[in-house]
Structure 1
Amino acid sequence: MVDRKMEENIAQFCGVTGASVKDARKFLEKYKRVDVAVDAYYNDPTALSSVAATPTRGGPPAASTSKLNALFDKYKDPDADADEITVDGTIRLCNDLDVDPEDVVLLAVAYELKSPRVGEWGRKGWVDGWKALGADTIPAMTAVLPRLRTKLGSDPAYFQTVYNHTFEFAKQAGQRSISTETAQAFWGLLLPHGMAGGALAHIEGEDVDMDGGAEGWQEEHVQWWFEFLEQKGGKGVSKDTWIMFHDFIRTIDAQFKTYDLEAAWPSTIDDFVEYAKERVQAGR
């Protein structure tokens, strides 16, 4: 029974990572759980360089369409007019994946599965997305999550792609903007993750003030931004503000001195810079 369980875990590990059976066994014997082993594997540059230099014969096994359809049927809403998984099914899925419904990694999953909005998953996006990720069982899906979480936090291009998708994901059908409260909730998930992992690292520029202390956007500025939005009020956050805010926080200096008021920034960001400069001058 133990050997059979190990073989199943090895198959899942190889299916997710494309690693050799030898490497899969090594990581699983050390870390025991598939998801923990996969996470350790993706944080091991030696293992990654080895698999890149030695392609696996035929690649990882393809995910099964029939298995994915069966899983979709398990979670879909039987009372919904459309063929979709809704909020109740999403909660059950999160329980099975052992992931908090408010975990930032689910924003990456939402992008990969082309979820149209919070708590909704279409069959085509579900099948195509999980097939692309190489997972067709709950254990394999669980093992994919650490890889997506790491990539989201450390890969600037991937972070921006998921970030941009999140606006559409968060937006109510028929609306052109999202509420300030909703925007803050998603910024509260994405920004700390991207800052901690390097995906939101400051982009160097010739005009950066080297005498201004730490370069770039700081953790405290997130709270400044939220406080500014709450004081400002308004109808919500537009797509333009959402998209441009990502570029703003990657390029602005910590003292907000290099901001170009003549550039095509949204007026909300213009106003925030004035607010932030006052905070800086007042000693925060």
Structure 2
Amino acid sequence: MPVKKKRKSSGSDDAGLRKCKITSFCRPATPGRLINSEDHFSSKKCLSWFYEYAGPDEVVGPEGMEKFCEDIGVEPENIVMLVLAWKLEAPNMGFFTKEEWLKGMTSLQCDCNERLQEKLDYLRSQLNDAAVFKNIYRYAFDFARDKDQRSLDMDTAKSMLALLLGRTWPLFPVFHQFLEQSRYKVMNKDQWYNILEFSRTVQADLSNYDEDGAWPVMLDEFVEWHKVRSAL
């Protein structure tokens, strides 16, 4: 999950902090204490856990998020962090409020880093359920966009698509090349939603693509571009 986005900062590192990296991998979890299976979830402990990372505004921000990721042994850019943000129903990239933390971690029954580490495989498994993945994919659009904009800037859109579809959609590398040379500077929600549907229903050779279907113009242009490129 891209977690280093700052609110309204004018620092020179803002652009780098805001972008979601394409790479996605997970370091081995840092060994922690063993959890007794008879230990019960503690709301008080969960709140204390939150304050290990929260700032004075009672929000886990970019710095706290970086330390949190380090402590659970997961890179901020790993897709499991996006799944966790979805579980916490967090609307802002790189920020967890106290309410989001307590509600989400209670549902996961996690009150410490070790318990969350034990849930990472479960969180990753959510991506294997087509219906759940669709919900996470749709959530990612609003999560990643600037809240004063209705669309995703294209750099963020490409990076988020790589995170979500890069390893599962055979045509993604070609689609990414199309976006690189296209006239589009932003991606709206309708385009975002339809890219997932396209990736699930249209075969890699485009043989079942319906030219009379209700696809956005962007995808029609992609198909034409790909056909011309393949014919060269």
Question: TM range, normalised to the smaller chain?
Answer: 0.7 to 0.9
Equivalent of 2:81, from 94, 106, 111?
106
Distance in 2 between residues matched to 1:131 and 1:280, nearest whole Å:
51
User: Which residue of 2 is the match for residue 135 of structure 1?
Assistant: 110
Matched, 1:160 2:138: no
**1:44-100 Cα shifts (integer Å, max 9, x gaps):** xxxxxxxxxxxxxxxxx4x3222222122221122x4xx321111100100111110
Residue 178 (structure 1) aligned with residue 148 (structure 2): no
Q: Which amino acid aligns with 2:172?
A: V
Distance 1:124 1:263 in 2: 43
Question: 2:23 maps to which residue?
Answer: none
CA shift digits 1:92-136 (9 cap, x unpaired): 100111110111111100100111121111211111111111111
SS of residue matched to 1:264: coil
* Residue in structure 2 matched with residue 273 of structure 1 by the alignment: 223
Instruction: Show the counterpart of 1:253.
Output: 203
Aligned residue for 2:162?
188
Query: How far apart in 1 are the matches of 2:36 and 2:147?
Result: 42
Q: Counterpart in 2 of 1:123?
A: 98
| Counterpart AA for 2:96 | W
Q: CA deviation at 1:10?
A: 4.2
8 Å CA contact 1:255, 1:277 repeated in 2: no
Task: Tell me if 1:9 matches 2:17.
Answer: no
Distance (whole Å) between structure 2 residues aligned to residue 281 and residue 240 of structure 1: 29
Aligned length: 201
Deviation (angstroms), 1:278 = 2.2
Aligned to 2:125: 150
Task: Work out whether residues 150 and 188 of structure 2, in 8 Å CA contact, stay in contact via their aligned partners in 1.
Answer: yes
Deviation of 1:142 after TM superposition, in Å, equals 1.2
Q: Which amino acid aligns with 1:280?
A: S
User: 1:8 Cα shift?
Assistant: 4.3
2:89 aligns to what SS in structure 1?
Answer: coil
Residue 265 of structure 1: how far off its partner (Å): 1.4
Moved segments of 4+, more than 4 Å = none
Superposed CA RMSD in Å reads 2.0
Structure with larger RCO (C-alpha < 8 A, sep 6+): 2
Which of 225, 228, 235 matches 2:175?
225
- Percent sequence identity is 32
The structure where helix makes up a greater share of residues is 1
Tell me if the contact between 2:166 and 2:173 (Cα under 8 Å) persists in the aligned partners. Answer: no
Unaligned runs of 5+ in 2: 1-32
Query: Which of the numbers 73, 84, 94 marks the counterpart of 2:69?
Result: 94
1:75 match = 53
User: TM-score, normalising length from structure 1?
Assistant: 0.66
After TM superposition, give the deviation of residue 223 of structure 1 in Å.
Answer: 1.4
Name the CA shift for 1:143/1:125 in 2 (closer, same or farther; >3 Å). same
CA distance in 2, matches of 1:185, 1:276: 21
Residues 261 and 134 from structure 1, CA distance in 2 versus in 1: closer, same or farther, beyond 3 angstroms?
same
Q: Which residue does the alignment assign to 2:44? A: 66
Tell me the alpha carbon deviations over residues 135-163 of structure 1, each in whole angstroms, 9 at most, x when there is no partner.
Answer: 111100111112111221x2111111111
* Contact 1:256–1:276 under 8 Å retained in 2: no
1:25 corresponds to: none
Partner of 2:11: none
